[in-house]
Structure 1
């Protein structure tokens, strides 16, 4: 698999990597250590060298599984985790250097690693981006050898732009997919200019872009695709990229007509993201090893044609843009 440079970190990482929000089972189900380790090992076997996790994924169990597998392998695997979402209530006042330091140290303990390659603020409230002391803390942690680099995971483009003003912010993790196209217009040019590595999350719009859902599809009560469609638990844009489910299904049908061959729509959706050179890596999740194999294989697909790219944009402009483009 091809590798791309992760901004100012200098890390050379795989175009398709692994996100671990749902590692170990489907969203909302109990964590399964054996399944988690199979998924992570499958990713590394497939050439993946970058794994993204967070301290709140399955109450720290995801970090533990990542650490166990990475330490058992001989390959150089870059580990990124996130901190801040443990703050309850999740408000700007809860973001203090003392609290964030404790979260970083907790991640080090759970992963068993001596140093975190990348620590990311985990979608903090907008006010946090205007507090230099928060970003200064991570310079202290870097000098202490506890982290190598700092990044941010954001909900909104405005947050990405503000975070990029801090010299020690090396990466931005952002939602970008066929149903969320604005970052390419309003953030990617600045990221290129400032050498910010772009990590793309929610690449399949919570599974909508897999092309496997129908109007009759249901989700478990503990699955965010069931309880967070209106944003009642966390940012609405995290669930189906903020697109109403029925509208998304209609757009997906047109995408299926456009890409009517044997290749799965999910693979094409991942390859579409890689058409943007500013993107360093995309981090689809997986709840079983077979999904990892399919995701990794998308990097080997031929480039989309300009005609296909234009038609994807037309579908977006017609169905999706009026509903999401200015919201995030």
Structure 2
């Protein structure tokens, strides 16, 4: 495992991190608390020292599990959590999004409750969870500074999602020198990641990017194939059939990234992201110990060559030679499309 600094915070993160959304909910398959703790501890044994959770995952359950699993190795790991969704006063309805609360009073109380569940005096990285650009106010930024001064957090980040987009939000965080921006980014969904790379270069910001969904919801690790039947409640089911069908065709054109005995397609998908200097850690969705064995090793597989990177770029620029709609919605915007227009991504905006 290789390690990177998160922004200029001084925090060290493993290049492959553990997205603990999987251990707090049943959206990626159900597991016992004992199995969840065992998975987390196994990941740490494989060198995974960055663990990313959130208060809304299982309405606090993920944080509780993370706290118990890591209690004996607290000084060896970097723990991130997220706040901003008011699950205390709003029940979860399936996979639907619950109301957010981004005022300083609520956020401070949420942080205190997160620390209690984690059984920690401080959290290494605190991320605002899916905050709109209008919600990241001067008062909220002041609160983040206060929490850092009080020793309750060491670094600040912005976690974007779940839909693709959030350009204005990511740009704001980068320009404000947040330590990290978490985003959906992978070989099949590149526009937003590319845009933030340009913003970082333009501003000279030290912000690190933390990609999630590196396997594009199961296509690039081949856990979702034409023969797969997604179970009821499986989070990957939100993708339309046309998107998967198009994705399988694109996967076949990326087979050149595999190297027998040295680099699997699942590892290549992570290695492609790690080839970008601003990427500090990639958080795949671990479901089993076998996933951990394979993907944690992606930090050490042969790096993608310049020729391989160029070939991926060419394929993507030409939409892999596939002239068919994939059924996905247009990019999300909270500023009436001004961010999409400014980024030159109008073709992905809603009609």
Given the two structures, how large is their TM-score scaled by the length of structure 1? 0.86
Aligned residue in 2 for 1:65? 65
1:122 to 129, 140, 144: 129
State the 1:184 CA deviation.
4.7
Work out the CA distance in 2 between the residues paired with 1:153 and 1:99: 18
2:200 to 191, 198, 211: 191
Work out the CA distance in 1 between the residues paired with 2:300 and 2:119: 33
1:146 to 142, 152, 159: 152
Work out the CA distance in 2 between the residues paired with 1:105 and 1:220: 36
**The residue matched to 1:120 in structure 2 has which SS?**
strand
Work out the CA distance in 2 between the residues paired with 1:266 and 1:30: 23
State the 1:317 CA deviation.
2.5
| RMSD (Å), alpha carbons | 2.6
Work out the CA distance in 1 between the residues paired with 2:11 and 2:199: 20
**The residue matched to 2:281 in structure 1 has which SS?**
strand
Distance 1:191-1:74 versus aligned 2 partners, 3 A rule: same
Aligned residue in 2 for 1:244? 243
Work out the CA distance in 2 between the residues paired with 1:28 and 1:50: 20
Per-residue CA deviations over 1:157-215 (Å, capped at 9, x if unaligned) read 32110122335x22111222101222453212433511112211111112121123222
**The residue matched to 2:41 in structure 1 has which SS?**
helix
Distance 1:201-1:222 versus aligned 2 partners, 3 A rule: same
Alignment of 1:208-219 (within 5 A): 208-219=219-230
Alignment of 1:88-167 (within 5 A): 88=90, 90=98, 94-129=101-136, 131-155=137-161, 156-167=166-177
State the 1:26 CA deviation.
5.8
Higher relative contact order (CA 8 A, sep 6+): 1
Work out the CA distance in 2 between the residues paired with 1:14 and 1:122: 22
Are the counterparts in 2 of residues 25 and 32 from structure 1 also a CA contact under 8 Å?
no
Work out the CA distance in 1 between the residues paired with 2:16 and 2:259: 23
State the 1:289 CA deviation.
1.6
Aligned residue in 2 for 1:203? 214
Work out the CA distance in 1 between the residues paired with 2:68 and 2:81: 14
Give unmatched runs, 5+ long, in structure 2: 91-96, 332-344
State the 1:107 CA deviation.
0.7
Are the counterparts in 2 of residues 38 and 289 from structure 1 also a CA contact under 8 Å?
no
Per-residue CA deviations over 1:283-322 (Å, capped at 9, x if unaligned) read 1121112211111111111111222212222332333798
Q: Are 1:178 and 2:187 an aligned pair?
A: yes
Are the counterparts in 2 of residues 24 and 31 from structure 1 also a CA contact under 8 Å?
no
Aligned residue in 2 for 1:235? none
Work out the CA distance in 1 between the residues paired with 2:123 and 2:78: 8
Give unmatched runs, 5+ long, in structure 1: 231-239
How many residues of Structure 1 are paired with residues of Structure 2 in the alignment? 313
Aligned residue in 1 for 2:342? none
